Structure 1
Amino acid sequence: MAAVQDKSGRLAEIVEKVRALGPTLRDRALDAERAGRLSDQTIADIDATGAFNIGSPAEYGGDELSVRQQLDVVSEVAKWDGSCGWCVWVAASTNWIPAGSGARVVEEVYGPQWVGPRVAGSSHFPASRGRARRTEGGWIISGGPWTFGSDSLWAPYTNLGCITDEADGKRLLAVQVPIGELRFLDDWQVAGMRGTGSVSLMLPSDELFVPDYRVVDFSDIAGMTIDNGLAGSLWQAPSLGWAFSLMGGMSIGIAQGALDRFLDRSAGRPIRGTTYKDQLQAPLTHLMLAEVHSKIRSATLMAQANAAETDRLGELAAAGTPADPEYMQNFSARVLVETAYVAKWCAEAIELLQRNSGSTAIMESESIQRAWRDARVITLHGALNLEALSENYGRLMAGIQPHNFAGITTLDRFAPAALKKAG
Structure 2
Amino acid sequence: MTTQIAGEVLRPLNDRPDTESTMLVTDDRPTTLAAVLEKVREVGPTLRAAALEGERAGRHSDATIAALDATGAFNIASPAEFGGAELPVRDQLDVVTEVSSWDGSAGWTVWVGASTNWIPAGSGARVVEEVYGPAWVGPRVAGSSHFPATRGRAKRVDGGWIVSGGPWTFGSDALWAPYTNLGCMADDGDGPHLVGVQVPRDELRFLDDWQVAGMRATGSVSVTLAADELFVPAHRVVDFRDVVAGTLDNGLAGSLWKAPSLGWAFSLMAGMSIGIAQGALARFLERSAGRPIRGTTYKNQLEAPLTHLMLTEVHSKIRSATLMAQANAAETDRLGELAAAGPPASPEYLQHFSARVLAETAYAAKWCAEAIELLQRNSGSTAIMDFEHIQRAWRDARVVTLHGALNLEALSENYGRLMAGIQPHDFAGITTLNRSAASAARNAG
Match of 1:106 in 2: 128
CA distance in 2, matches of 1:152, 1:200: 9
What is the Cα deviation at residue 166 of structure 1? 2.5
Partner of 1:68: 90
Are the counterparts in 2 of residues 123 and 148 from structure 1 also a CA contact under 8 Å? yes
Specify the alignment match of 1:32 in structure 2. 54
Structure 2 counterpart of 1:280, one-letter code: L
The equivalent position to 1:267 in structure 2, one of 280, 285, 289, is 289
Aligned counterparts, 1:400-411, within 5 A: 400-411=422-433
For 2:150 and 2:272, the matched residues in 1 are separated by 25
Letter in 2 for 1:260: A
Q: 2:116 touches 2:142 (CA, 8 Å); kept in 1?
A: yes
Q: 1:222-233 maps to which residues of 2 (within 5 A)? A: 222-233=244-255
Tell me if 1:46 matches 2:68.
yes
Q: 8 Å contact 2:207–2:224 — kept in the other structure? A: yes
Question: Shift in Å at residue 321 of structure 1?
Answer: 2.1
Kept after mapping to 2: 8 A contact 1:131/1:162: yes
Kept in 2: contact 1:325–1:416 (CA 8 A): no
Q: Equivalent residue for 1:16?
A: 38
User: 2:101 is matched with which residue: 79, 83, 86?
Assistant: 79
Q: Residues 184 and 34 of structure 1: is their aligned pair in 2 closer, same or farther, counting only changes over 3 Å? A: same
Q: Which runs of 5+ in 1 are unaligned?
A: 1-7, 418-423
Q: Which amino acid aligns with 1:103?
A: A
The TM-score, its normalising length taken from structure 2, stands at: 0.91
Kindly, what percent of the aligned residue pairs are identical? 81
SS in 2 for 1:407: coil
Structure 2 residue matching 1:119: 3-state secondary structure: coil
Give the corresponding residue for 1:243: 265
Letter in structure 1 aligned against 2:297: T
1:412 Cα shift?
3.5
Matched, 1:343 2:357: no
Candidates 110, 114, 118, aligned match of 2:140: 118
In 1, Cα distance between the equivalents of 2:248 and 2:425? 27
In structure 1, which of residues 355, 360, 368 is the aligned counterpart of residue 377 of structure 2?
355
Aligned pair 1:95/2:117, yes or no?
yes
Residue 219 of structure 1: which of 217, 223, 241 is its match? 241
Alignment partner of 2:330: what SS? helix
**TM-superposed deviation, 1:119:** 1.2
> Which of 128, 142, 148 is residue 164 of structure 2 equivalent to?
142
TM-superposition CA deviations, 1:140-183 (whole Å, max 9, x none): 00000000000000000000000012311111000000000000
Aligned mates of 1:161, 1:415 — CA distance in 2: 20
Pick aligned residue for 1:203 from 225, 236, 243? 225
Tell me how far apart the structure 2 counterparts of residues 284 and 12 of structure 1 sit (CA, whole Å): 37
Is structure 2 residue 399 aligned with structure 1 residue 381?
Answer: no
Distance 2:399 2:436 in 1: 29
Contact 2:31-2:72 at 8 Å conserved across structures:
no
- Displacement of 1:125 after TM fit? 1.1
Question: Post-superposition shift, 1:349?
Answer: 0.2
What letter matches 1:135 in structure 2?
V
Question: Matched residues in 1 for 2:438 and 2:212: separation?
Answer: 41
CA distance in 1, matches of 2:238, 2:374: 45
Quote the offset at 1:415 in angstroms: 5.6
Partner in structure 1 of residue 256 of structure 2: 234
Give the letter aligned to residue 97 of structure 2: S
Contact 1:326–1:414 at 8 Å: present in 2 too? no
TM-score by length of structure 1 reads: 0.96
User: Equivalent residue of 2:60, what SS?
Assistant: coil
Distance 1:415-1:137 versus aligned 2 partners, 3 A rule: closer
Which residue of structure 1 aligns with residue 315 of structure 2? 293
Letter in 1 for 2:322: T
Q: Hey, what's the Cα distance between the residues in 1 that align with 2:433 and 2:44? A: 37
Q: Please state whether the residue corresponding to 2:39 is helix, strand or coil.
A: helix
- Equivalent residues of 1:123, 1:160 under 8 A apart: yes
- AA in 2 matched with 1:289: L
Measure the CA separation in 1 of the matches of 2:182 and 2:162. 13
Give the aligned partner of residue 302 of structure 2. Answer: 280
**What SS is found at the alignment partner of 1:357?**
coil
Q: What is aligned with 2:328?
A: 306
1:161 aligns with 2:161: no
Is residue 320 from structure 1 mapped to residue 347 from structure 2 by the alignment?
A: no
Q: Which residue of 2 aligns with 1:421?
A: none
**Contact (CA 8 Å) 1:95, 1:119: kept in 2 or not?**
yes
Q: Is this contact kept in 1: 2:31–2:85, CA < 8 A?
A: no
AA matched with 1:137: G
**Alignment of structure 1 residues 126-137 onto 2, 5 Å:** 126-137=148-159
Question: What is the CA–CA distance in structure 2 between the aligned matches of 1:144 and 1:35, rounded to whole Å?
Answer: 24
Contact map agreement 1:259 1:350 (CA 8 A) in 2: yes
Decide whether the 8 Å contact of 2:328 with 2:357 is kept in 1.
yes
What CA distance in whole angstroms lies between the structure 1 residues aligned with 2:363 and 2:303? Answer: 31
Structure 1 CA distance for aligned equivalents of residues 319 and 433 of structure 2: 28
Contact 1:120 1:155 in 2 (8 A): yes
1:181 equivalenced with 2:229 (yes/no) = no
SS of 1:229's equivalent in the other structure is: coil
Show the counterpart of 1:369. Answer: 391
SS of corresponding position for 2:32: helix
SS at 2:210 equivalent: coil
Which position in structure 2 is the counterpart of 1:330?
Answer: 352
Aligned-residue offset at 1:257: 0.1
Cα distance in 1 for residues equivalent to 2:313 and 2:398 = 18
Paired with 1:57 and 1:227, the residues of 2 have a C-alpha distance of: 14
- Structure 1 residue matching 2:137: 3-state secondary structure: coil
- What does residue 20 of structure 2 align with? none
Residue pair 2:245, 2:438 contacting (<8 A) in 1 also: no
- Match of 1:24, SS state, is helix
C-alpha displacement of 1:9? 8.0
